[in-house]
Structure 1
Amino acid sequence: MTQSQTITVRILDKDYHIACPASESTNLERAAEYLDKKMREIRRTGKVIGTERVAVMAALNITHELHSKQSAALLDGENTELIQQLVARVNQSLDVSE
């Protein structure tokens, strides 16, 4: 059974106490730092007022980043598969012509 511990993270000058497995505490702290950074960037623009709205905009931006990275990785995988198919065809053609 995984041991759980309580980690305190600070986001926009407010402390949050979050329970997580001990093995995930570093990842949680990094995620909180990243979220804090994104929220501060949004708040600094002055276009979004209120912590809740800043949090929602940060969540949307982070989700968009993740989705874009996943889409790029998927395309890379599709390209790799296509290249492998093309190489197989070339090899097959070379075998036939010899």
Structure 2
Amino acid sequence: MSAELKALDVSIMGREFRVACKEEERQQLLDAVAFLEKRMREVKESGKVVGTERVALIAALQIAHEFLSTRVSGGFDLGEFRRRIATMQETIDRALSEQDELF
């Protein structure tokens, strides 16, 4: 199992992002991007939310709510979930800061 991170360029709502991920996690990340893109488009098309950041936030809240409501009742490890979310947030923050440096 390779721990080496590789750059992956993804597009979400017409914006390009470079994200680092392990090769064996590449497809999962692409699936997550597709899922997020779909949810953000649904929020945007509802016409109730304006602005990409707000659309992203509402989509993220909907996804988190759905995830927690289906998992917590089944003996879900909330501590592990929080650790994984923190790791994902750090990865997103790094990717966005690298994106900002490009411009």
Q: TM-score, normalised by structure 1?
A: 0.71
What are the within-5 Å matches in structure 2 for residues 30-69 of structure 1?
30-69=31-70
What is residue 14 of structure 2 aligned with on the other side? 13
In structure 1, the gaps of 5 or more residues are 76-98
Deviations 1:46-75 (A, max 9, x none): 100000000000010000111011134239
- Equivalent-residue separation in structure 2 for 1:54 and 1:37 (angstroms): 11
In the superposition, the TM-score normalised over structure 2's length comes to 0.68
| CA RMSD, 1 decimal | 1.5
Paired residue total: 75
1:29-48 deviations in Å (ceiling 9; x for gaps): 11111000000000001100
Percent sequence identity over aligned pairs: 37
- Higher-RCO chain (CA-CA 8 Å, sequence separation at least 6): 2
- 1:24 counterpart residue number: 25
